[in-house]
Structure 1
Amino acid sequence: MKYPAADLDETIYNPERQLDVHVIEELSKCEWIEQGKNLVITGKTSSGKSYLANALCICALRQFKAARYMKASQLINELSKAEKLDVYQEELNLFAGYDLLVVDDFGLMNLDVNKCRNLFEVFDSRDPHKSILIISQFPVSTWYDMFQNHTYAEACFARLLSRAYRLEMNGKNMRNMEPISK
C-alpha cells in the first residue's frame, strides 16, 4: 500500500476537507465489501483520495478480508506480463480472489484494445461478488474517452459502476494541511 499507516483519523472531520463523515464511517464498516459492491473515489490531485482508500483497505484487513492495493498501470502490466509467460488465467484468478481490489491512479494511462480487454477481464472476474475500489483524478464522466475500444468501456462500466458507491473529494490540498490538534 502507498500509506500502510493510513487511518480514519481526525483529519476526516476537518470542515475544509468537505467530506461526508457519515458516509466514510459507514464505508469503514466494510458492509459494502461483504455485499460485493464497488467504490469509486474521484477528486483533484492531493485531495486525499489514496490516503482514504488505503485507510478503508486497512479497515477491510482488520476485518480479515483479503485485499490488494495497486496502481492501474501495475495491474495492466502484471496482466500483460502474465500473458507473455502463458500464466494469464492464473494471474486473473489471483485478482478475482481478493475480497477487495484497490486500483489507484485510474485513467493515467492510455488504454489500447489489449489494456481494455485486460481491465474488462479483471472487472468481469469480480462481478458481482467481489469489490473493487477505484481511485481517479478524473471525473467518471470523462472515463469513456480513456478507452480506445468503447465496447470494452461500456462493458467495464456496466460491471464497475452499476453497483458502486461514489465519493467525490473536493476539499483542500492535503499535502499542505497540518493535522488538527485535539
Structure 2
Amino acid sequence: MRDHVQALRTLHLQGMADALEAWQADPLNVDRPLSEALAYLIDGHSQRQNQSRADTFFRQAGLATHYSAHTFRANPATGLSSQRMDHLRGLSWIKRGQAVVITGPTNAGKTHLAAGLGHEATVHGLRCVFVRTPAMLDRCLDPDLTIAARRRYQKQLANAPLLIMDDFATEYATTEKTYLLRRLLDDRARRGLPVVVASINAVADWDGYFEDEAAREGIYSRLIDAGCHRVELRRSAPPKTAHRDHKRTRSHVTRCVKAHRSVATP
C-alpha cells in the first residue's frame, strides 16, 4: 500500500495520497468496500485542491484567509439578509455575467464580502482576480512598465472569469483612467463576464470621482443597470449592555463615595 501512496505523490495527487494514508491508519476501514475507499480518496483530493486554490487567491490578493462567505455575518444589522447571502453564494449571477455592487461605510465588511464571494468562486474552480482599483489603474498606465507588460495585465483583467475591484470610486480618476475603466468593463461585458465592485461611497456620490462624463456614464451602464445586485452594507453597532453596566456601576460607586464623605465630615 505504501507503493500506492508514493505513486499518488509522484503523480502530484497529494490530497489522494494523504487521504489514503489516513484511510489505512483507521482499523475500522479494513472491511469497508473499495467503492467507499475511492470516494474517500476523491473527497480528500477535492478538499486539498480547493484549499490550494483558496490559498493562492488570498495570497495574490494580499488578504487575510478568514475572508470567506461563511464567516460574513449576514443579518438585518449588517444590511444583507441571509436569503440574499445564500443567493450570492449560489453564484448564479456569475453564470449570467451580472455585476455585484457593494457599498457601505468603513468597517461595514465590504472587502470581507467581496473577498468571500471571490473565495466561493475559487473553490468552485473559477479563476478570480482581486484588485484595488486605484492601484490597478496606476499599473495599467505605469510608464515604468513596457507596453507589452501593460497589455498583458489589461488582458488578464479583461479575461478573468471573475474580477473583483475593491476601493472603487474612492480616488479621483482622470479622463484617461476613466476611459480605461470603461473600456475594461466594455470588454468584460462583451464576453459576458461578471464583476464585483466595493466602494465606501454610495453610488449617488460617484459622479465626482470620474473626470469624463461620457466615460462615467458608460461605466454606470455596465455596473448598475438592470441585472445588477446592489448590496448596501451597514456598520453594525456594538452591544451597549456592557457600556450601560459600566456607567451604572460607576454612578453607584460615585454615590457611595459621596455618602461616605458626608458621614465622615464633622
Same fold (TM over 0.5): yes
Deviations 1:73-111 (A, max 9, x none): 121012112795212433221111111110001122111
Q: Partners of 1:33 and 1:82 in 2: how far apart?
A: 34
Are 1:7 and 2:59 matched, yes or no?
no
Aligned to 2:231: 167
Change (3 A) 1:60 1:11: closer
Aligned with 2:153 (options 88, 91, 96): 91
TM value normalised by structure 1: 0.87
Answer with 1 or 2: which has the greater Rg.
2
Q: Partners of 2:188 and 2:72 in 1: how far apart?
A: 32
Give the drift of 1:3. Answer: 3.0
SS at match of 2:147: coil
Task: Report sequence identity in percent.
Answer: 21
Contact 1:92 1:125 in 2 (8 A): no
Q: Partners of 2:140 and 2:65 in 1: how far apart?
A: 24
Are 1:153 and 2:216 matched, yes or no?
yes
Give the drift of 1:14. Answer: 4.9
Contact 1:42 1:49 in 2 (8 A): yes
Deviations 1:10-40 (A, max 9, x none): 6524553242111111101111011110100
Q: Partners of 2:80 and 2:151 in 1: how far apart?
A: 39
Aligned with 2:83 (options 18, 22, 26): 22
Q: Which aligned runs of 4 or more in structure 1 are off by greater than 6 angstroms?
A: none
Aligned to 1:105: 167
Q: Higher helix share goes to which structure? A: 2
The alignment covers a number of residue pairs equal to: 175
Contact 1:19 1:171 in 2 (8 A): no
Unmatched runs of 5 consecutive residues or more in structure 1 = 178-182
SS at match of 2:196: strand
Q: Higher strand share goes to which structure? A: 1
Unmatched runs of 5 consecutive residues or more in structure 2 = 1-60, 240-266
Contact 1:105 1:135 in 2 (8 A): yes
Q: Partners of 1:138 and 1:45 in 2: how far apart?
A: 10
Q: Which has the higher contact order (CA 8 A, sep 6+)?
A: 1
Give the drift of 1:4. Answer: 2.7
TM value normalised by structure 2: 0.61
